Structure 1
Amino acid sequence: MSHARPGRGRTRRAHLRIVASVLVAVVFVAACGGGSDTESRYEGLAVAPSELRQIPHMVLSDTAGNDFGLAADTEGQVRLVYQLFTNCPDICGVQLAQLASVLGRPGAPKNVQVLAVTVDPDRDTPEILRAYLDQFSADFVGLIPRSEQQLTDLQNVLGSLASFKIFDTTPTTDHDHSTDVDADAAHDHGAYDIGHDGRVFAFAPNGYGYAQYPYPTRQSQFDHDLPILAVIDPDAPSGAGL
């Protein structure tokens, strides 16, 4: 879903695809750095994290304005944590559509919850975020960090790459007169995109993050992994059952 100005959407989408490709490359390098113990523990699952982490014990705001604990309010479930923003040109929508399709398939485990965290709390109001997610699934939980610092803290705990704003300062023309658009003016008008980590972070019912899904990931990988993650006992220690 893009809100780019006419004639410039293609450039912005290309820019975001380049950013996404760089982020994915960095993610693969980091994720493949584990030793043989890590590889055996996660054999058969998607990209294994180089460091086993627990789901963040943080409280954000949901789209109804209520407190939502990432860990406390999702006990016993597989949590798929995904960062997004509603002005995303295409990648975020593709990921959400894929998750909706995976979870809507016959036989898909029922104890899977998508936690969609906006990286653009300045523009993504609860109403905007809810309307965006409802295009894919009314069951997706929309979450809004309460501050930039909380977003940074969340990304640090996830082991996520930091999100950053990309201001559109490309010169524009008006009646054959060139006008430069500086970063301050772009910021004032909300004219920016956001580069962010495109991974889906998967946490099993015991709270441990056993798998990560970079963009793009085949649907068959989710079909394979989610039933495995879904049956892990909530009280199991890290690595148990895999």
Structure 2
Amino acid sequence: MNTPSTPSLLAATAAPGPSHHRRGLLALALAPLLAATLAACKKAPVAYQGMDITGAEYARDFQLKDAQGQVHTLADYRGKAVMLFFGFTQCPDVCPTALTRAAEIRRLLGDDGQRLQVLFITIDPERDNPTVLGAYTQVFDPSFIGLYGDLEQTAAAAKEFKVYYKKVPTGSSYTMDHSAFSYVFDPLGKPRLVLRHEQSAKACADDLRQLLQQSA
């Protein structure tokens, strides 16, 4: 039996050759770049001032008519952020305040204001006929769209969006008690934010700007 010579044993146990060394140096050099790439992929979550409802399984859609009688769903506004508010045209304070704020939000967004569609869904279809609804929304901004349904459709939409409303008698007439928040949907039509009534136009615009930048 042949016994390996001493030089052969030394060669077998020697350190890795130049190619192994180069690969090791390359891995060390690329490590910081790889770490930076991974960090960029894992972006820190956006801190909104409104309530983040990303992934919500409610407020998913509606099927209602505009002042011209055309049926609309959220899919009609794909490519834009949508701000949606439930109210009624004879509302003395909450609704006009919300829509005035919405107009100011569009102004604060500058060019991005063109990427925001504001929708107003009436909870009082008995009085808010198409003519009244169309004229009301136009007062605040020509781009705003008023939507309505019959009593059953209105109740179904409010239930889907977890909106409270109730008819309250006032002498010979009535008023409506209702929730006072706005929903925001991203350009893919997904529910993303609930804006509280007390939030300022600037706070809302800041949230919408971040949302639109994410979707750019």
TM-score (norm 1): 0.65
Cα 1:50/1:72, change in 2 over 3 Å: closer
Q: Secondary structure at the match of 1:124?
A: coil
Deviates more, 1:53-62 or 1:213-222: 53-62
For 2:191, what is the secondary structure of its paired residue?
A: coil
1:127 paired residue number: 131
Separation in 1 of the partners of 2:133 and 2:155? 19
Q: State the alpha-carbon separation in 2 of the partners of residues 150 and 132 from structure 1.
A: 21
> Whose radius of gyration is greater, 1 or 2?
2
2:210 matches 1:231: no
Aligned to 1:221: 203
Identity of counterpart residues, as a percentage? 24
Residues 83-140 of structure 1 show CA distances to partners (whole Å, capped at 9, x for unaligned) of 1111101111111111111102362512110011011000001111111111111100
Asked whether the 8 Å contact 1:116–1:142 carries over to 2, the reply is yes
RMSD across aligned C-alpha pairs, in angstroms? 2.2
1:60 aligns to what? 64
1:53/1:158 contact within 8 Å kept = no
Contact 1:55–1:203 (Cα < 8 Å) also in 2: no
**Partner letter of residue 52 of structure 1?**
A
Deviation at 1:55, TM superposition (A): 4.9
- Conserved? CA contact 1:45–1:211, under 8 Å: no
Does the C-alpha gap of structure 1 residues 50 and 233 become closer, same or farther in structure 2, counting only changes over 3 Å? closer
- Equivalence for 2:35: none
From 179, 182, 194, the counterpart of 1:197: 179
Does the 8 Å contact 2:59/2:162 carry over to 1? no
Distance 1:122 1:155, change over 3 A: same
Match status 1:100 vs 2:97: no
Shift of 1:57: 3.1
Aligned residues: 172
Gaps of 5+ in 2: 1-43
- Equivalent position amino acid for 1:201 in 2: Y
Please tell me whether the aligned partners of residues 55 and 207 of structure 1 are also in contact (alpha carbons under 8 angstroms): no
Amino acid paired to 2:196 = P
Greater helix share, structure number? 2
**CA distance change for structure 1 residues 82 and 74 in 2, over 3 Å: closer, same or farther?**
same
Alignment partner, residue 16 of structure 2 = none
Letter in 1 for 2:159: N
For 1:9, the equivalent position in structure 2 comes to none
Q: Residues 17-166 of structure 1 correspond to what in structure 2 (within 5 A)?
A: 43-49=47-53, 52-53=56-57, 55-69=59-73, 71-105=74-108, 107-109=110-112, 110-145=114-149, 147-160=150-163, 162-166=164-168
Q: What is the CA deviation profile of residues 29-64 of structure 1, one whole-angstrom value per residue up to 9, with x for unaligned ones?
A: xxxxxxxxxxx8562341234972465333211011
Q: In the alignment, what sits opposite 1:25?
A: none
TM-score by length of 2: 0.72
1:240 equivalent in structure 2? none
Deviation at 1:208, TM superposition (A): 2.0
In structure 2, the residue corresponding to 1:231 is in which secondary structure? helix
**Secondary structure in 1 aligned to 2:203?**
helix
Distance 2:128 2:64 in 1: 14
CA deviation string 1:166-207 (max 9, x = no partner): 1014xxxxxxxxxxxxxxxx3xxxx11101111010111122
Instruction: State the secondary structure of the residue aligned to 2:101.
Output: helix
Structure 1 gaps, min length 5: 1-39, 170-185, 235-242
CA contact (8 A) 1:54 1:208 kept: no
